A and B are shown apart, each in its own frame.
Chain A
Amino acid sequence: MNWWHRLIRRSEMEETLEKEMRFHLEQHMSALIARGIDPAEARRRARIALGGPEQVKEECRDARGTRWLEDFWQDFRYALRTLRQRPGFAAVALLTLALGTGATTVMFTVVNSVLLKPLPYREPDRLITLDEQTDKVTSSIWGNIWAFAYPNYLDCKRESRSLAMSAWRYNGSTVSVNREVEYVDGIETTYDLFSILGVTPFRGRTFLPEDDKPGAAPVIIISNGLWQRLYAGSPEAVGSSLTFDEKPYTVVGIMPAGFRLNEDEYDVFTPLGQDTSPSLQKRDMHPGIQVYARLQAGVTLVQAQTELSLIARHLAEQFPESNNGRNFRAQPLHADVGDVGSTLWLLLGAVSLVLLVACTNVASLLLARAVSRERELAMRVALGAGRGRLVRQCLTESAVLGLSGGAFGICLAAWGIRSFVGFWPGTLPRAAEVHIDWRVLLFALAVSLVSGILFGLAPALRAPFKNVEQTLRAGARTVTANSRLLHGAFVISEIAMAVVLLVSAGMLARTLLRLSALNPGVNVRNVLTTRVALSPATLSNPGAIRAAWPDILDRARSVPGVESVATVDTVPMRDGNNRIGYCTTPDVPPADKTPLALANSVTPDYLEVMGIPLLKGRFFDDHDRLGNELVVVIDDVLAELAFGKEEPVGKRLWLPGRDSPFSSGNNTADAVRVVGVVGHVRYWGLASDDQAQVRAQFYYPFAQVPDPLLHRWSELMSIAVRTSVPPLNLVQALRQQLRGAVGGVGGDQALYEIHTMEQLASDSLSRQRFLLLLFGIFAGLALVLACIGIYGVLAYLTGQRVPEIGIRIALGARPNSVMWLVLRQSLGMIVVGVAIGTAAALAAGRVLQQLVQGMQPIEISTFAITIPVLVFAALFASFVPARRASRVDPVIALRQD
């Protein structure tokens, strides 16, 4: 018989044991009788010889070695029975725990998938990313880190024995199939990127080495999403032709759904080796090449780094002009999830507080029950139960409760996780990877077990051992001071945690209110912004570009409902910016010492479109074009920073040649004339602008951008449209009007990234709004749970005091004073809880201020608003038991027990 049989055939075992004992006794008896002893005496002697049958049986049970398991099984069934006996208690406890563990599990699932889980490639811990690194700091943004120069990459790849290397870079453009035009994000990649990541295509093939050479047949791989959009998932897509960037390509493969690089989804992949751009030939150009590599078998990161440094030294000797002081840096490849980490940990922290409140609640319910079961436990001790055995029994009960609550919680989490992810403002990085896996299950299991043991511990440890006899004699309704203290502690901690969550929610609400009321610096009503993709034919010719933009603006202006239109390269509160160094003297300091400002190239109508106030001087006009003096308009922040109290209009600024939009890369600084001052725009969004590193702004005329830069600038250009009607209604008309524009060149016009300024302003607060909503929910949950807890504890404590209250009333106490007696008790707990909670909330406020952008310091008024809410709710919860106490009938009360 194995242990499993013993467990489930327990009664059978007991029967055979009993039978064996009986057989022994009867044998002994008949032996004695045969010797002539009379039956009664024989029975007596046989019994004495064997010893107490129950003890013998008990020892036999112990000897089986599976005793603990049998006990556990027994306790488990007992726990289920007691839970079934009080379905109300069981339902409240299970619901509370399910909500607590469910919410915590959801948060942990997201934290796990977004922050903890390795990248979804083969052996992700062997993947590394490479950068170039110079001795000196060369930029205040990037420090001494550079993207690879393509020739450097080729040399590293050829020389390296420790790394398998691949490279890729961004390459977005328009795609057209059957006259459907769409702007897509794409990359150019070496043929081996896919094999290094360990990704196989969904259909077709990836690139071959012979695809990855200049002059090879143009081939393209498309994303699963694009395949669905353009080909409706038809298997004939592979082998068909597709126009990308106005060049014909043959589709050779389709990537699996959800394939991402550096957290972005790309729609098209073309071989990098076919690209013959001059920027890829030069060792002193860094055209945005990303290098991903895999450590060869048995090689460590340190060994690879040593080898790379050696290669870098050889290259520096060979090409001192470009490579002197230049090393290559290898780092493990990690998911780039931006700044969501702090938000996620914050939410996990908040949700754990809710879980703690839930646990405390269940603990106080269990404790109340344990106190009323004190006599039962004392009886068990009197019958010989050991302390360990009783503690085990209590813990089994609470673990059963915790685990079943946890099981419900996991169901809740499985059901709620998708809606949570969908609810996330913007796109949650790695959202596709968010699902419940074994780590989450383990976590949920641990959480429910630990919480089960936590809330079971208090009742278990206070099982009666001393004074068993006293407990047995005492009435069931005597509450020891000890348990009253413990109950008080539970209520106090629940209130304290509710205060922390309420105050945090209050802080977030105030912050959100303040931020929404901020002036963004532009008039966000009725403004539409959209990027415009020019046709590649136009982009290749500066003259055509100069003709194209006025044509586009004229066509847009002709749409009914459009008031004014301007081009703008970086739209406020949208992703993307252009940071440029400036100085007030012609001597340009080193790059890391030059102050930075946000530069924006616009056409003269921009101020009117955006409704930015002109403070001094003038804005641009049609005379500000190539050949005339270079001019800029600065905002009041830059005016203050650069010129202090002096009059800025008419002064000059110098833009270092390395990043000036007016030069084509020589090393002298360009002098520009300040012709006007405009109001500051909250470029980084309502919440983040105050803390942004670079706040100063200046505008320069798009018409003064020199020919060599026009191509690059036009690729990134957007238009902003002020309308007299809701701007989104005009999107279709704009699309039609702009199709076929551009100075007779024709070609594909595609509008993409279409936003209204109102959307952008509102989205810039979405993180704060999301946090407020969740903290609001958590705080509400904690408040409700705390109130249930207070109600439960008071109802119980008051119930225990019924005889005492009866005596008081019999002696002439008035109902009001009896009510006060109960309320005073709860008020005491509330005051202490609020005091502790306030101290904790001050600390929590600090954390919030660190982690949430635009967060206001904690204010007295936040406490003044939130704490009365809690106190009233808590008093309301204690009112019911108090009222019940005041109506106690002394006659009935005194007869109890």
Chain B
Amino acid sequence: MQKSEVWVMNPKSDLPQGTLDLLILKVVALEPVHGYAIAQRLEQVSRHVVQVPQGSLYPALHRLENRGLLGADWKETETGREAKFYHLTGKGRAQLEAETASWERLTEAVALILKLSEGGAE
């Protein structure tokens, strides 16, 4: 894979704003999970297309927690260590649904436009 195909996700990248938040909400929606696992999952799920610098993950988590979209508890992991597990709040779930819907509308619209212009070129 060429370097240029990897989206480096940080506040200054070209990725639409709020995408990182949306991805985090999606990951956390499956089950309560700690920060490291979120980073791992994001990497696996996006098959290395999206690379989240771990440095910007935590500020995002804290921001979402502060906005009441995520809750957090300290729990033991399978290996017996204490870690901060994030889970989705009711408000977070609503936000996730709204964001997902709006994301889908956006991508559909973009895809439509792209198809149109291809059609026009033929």
Chain A residues with CB under 8 Å of chain B are 16, 19-21, 23-24, 26-28, 49-52, 55-56, 59-60, 62-65
Contacts and interface: CB of A to CB of B under 8 A. Distances in A.
A55 B55 contact: yes
B62 A63 contact: yes
A517 B36 CA distance: 94
Contact of A23 (B34, B53, B63): B34
A59 B59 CA distance: 6
Contacts of B62: 60, 63-64
Interface string B17-32: 0000000000000000
Contact of B55 (A20, A27, A56, A62): A56
A63 B84 contact: no
A23 B58 contact: no
Given A51-B54, A63-B66, A64-B66, A24 B59 contact: no
B60 A24 contact: no
Interface in B63-85: 63, 66, 74, 81-84
A23 B55 contact: no
A169 B36 CA distance: 88
Nearest to A6: B66
B36 A27 contact: yes
A21 B58 contact: yes
Q: In the complex, which of the residues B36, B56, B63, B84 has the most CB atoms of chain A within 10 Å of its own CB atom?
A: B36
Given A16-B84, A23-B81, A50 B59 contact: no
B27 to A, nearest CB: 15
A688 B52 CA distance: 86
A700 B66 CA distance: 91
Main secondary structure of the interface of B (DSSP, over half): helix
Q: In the complex, which of the residues B35, B59, B60 has the most CB atoms of chain A within 10 Å of its own CB atom?
A: B59
Given A28-B36, A63-B63, A63-B66, A20 B54 contact: no
The 5 closest A-B pairs by CB, nearest first: A51-B55, A59-B59, A63-B63, A63-B62, A27-B36
A287 B101 CA distance: 85
Nearest to A62: B59
A56 B39 CA distance: 15
Contacts of A60: 58-59, 62
Nearest to B35: A24
Contacts of B81: 23, 26
Contacts of A23: 34-36, 81-84
B55 to A, nearest CB: 3
B37 to A, nearest CB: 8
Given A19-B82, A50-B54, 6 more contacts: A23-B82, A23-B84, A24-B35, A51-B55, A52-B55, A63-B66
A21 B54 CA distance: 10
A20 B84 contact: yes
Contacts of B35: 20, 23-24
Given A56-B59, A63-B59, A49 B54 contact: yes
B60 A63 contact: yes
Contacts of A28: 36, 54
A24 B36 contact: yes
Nearest to B54: A50
B13 to A, nearest CB: 15
A60 B72 CA distance: 15
A184 B82 CA distance: 87
Contacts, number: 54
A194 B54 CA distance: 77
Contacts of B54: 24, 28, 49-51
Contacts of A27: 36
Nearest to A52: B55
Nearest to A51: B55
Contacts of A51: 53-55
A373 to B, nearest CB: 33
Contacts of A49: 53-54
Contacts of A50: 54-55
Contacts of A59: 55-56, 58-59
A28 B53 CA distance: 13
B46 to A, nearest CB: 16
Contacts of B39: 24
Contacts of B66: 63-65
Contacts of B60: 63
A63 B61 CA distance: 9
A499 to B, nearest CB: 56
A183 B66 CA distance: 75
Nearest to A27: B36
B25 to A, nearest CB: 15
Contacts of A63: 59-60, 62-63, 66
A51 B8 CA distance: 14
20 contacts: A20-B35, A20-B84, A23-B34, A23-B35, A23-B81, A24-B35, A24-B36, A24-B39, A24-B58, A28-B36, A49-B53, A49-B54, A50-B54, A50-B55, A56-B58, A59-B58, A59-B59, A60-B58, A63-B66, A64-B62
A28 B58 CA distance: 15
A60 B57 CA distance: 9
A16 B81 CA distance: 14
A27 to B, nearest CB: 4
A234 B62 CA distance: 71
Q: In the complex, which of the residues A27, A49, A52 has the most CB atoms of chain B within 10 Å of its own CB atom?
A: A27
A257 to B, nearest CB: 56
B18 to A, nearest CB: 14
A26 B36 CA distance: 10
A65 B59 CA distance: 11
A26 B84 CA distance: 14
Contacts of A24: 35-36, 39, 54, 58
A21 to B, nearest CB: 7
B93 to A, nearest CB: 21
A255 to B, nearest CB: 59
Q: In the complex, which of the residues B34, B56, B58, B60 has the most CB atoms of chain A within 10 Å of its own CB atom?
A: B58
A821 to B, nearest CB: 58
Contacts of A64: 62, 66
A783 B60 CA distance: 59
A543 B74 CA distance: 106
A20 B53 CA distance: 16
Contacts of B82: 19, 23
Contacts of B83: 20, 23
A59 B58 CA distance: 8
Nearest to A24: B36
Nearest to B74: A16
Contacts of A19: 82, 84
B47 to A, nearest CB: 18
A338 B57 CA distance: 72
Q: In the complex, which of the residues A16, A20, A49, A64 has the most CB atoms of chain B within 10 Å of its own CB atom?
A: A20
Nearest to A58: B59
A45 to B, nearest CB: 11
Nearest to B36: A27
Nearest to B55: A51
A51 B53 CA distance: 8
Nearest to A26: B81
A20 B77 CA distance: 13
Nearest to B39: A24
A699 to B, nearest CB: 88
A66 to B, nearest CB: 8
A229 B25 CA distance: 81
A19 B84 CA distance: 9
Contacts of B58: 20-21, 24, 56, 59-60
Nearest to A46: B54
A50 B83 CA distance: 17
A55 B62 CA distance: 14
A755 B58 CA distance: 85
Contacts of A52: 55
Nearest to B63: A63
Contacts of A65: 63, 66
Q: In the complex, which of the residues B39, B54, B63, B82 has the most CB atoms of chain A within 10 Å of its own CB atom?
A: B54
A882 to B, nearest CB: 58
A543 B66 CA distance: 96
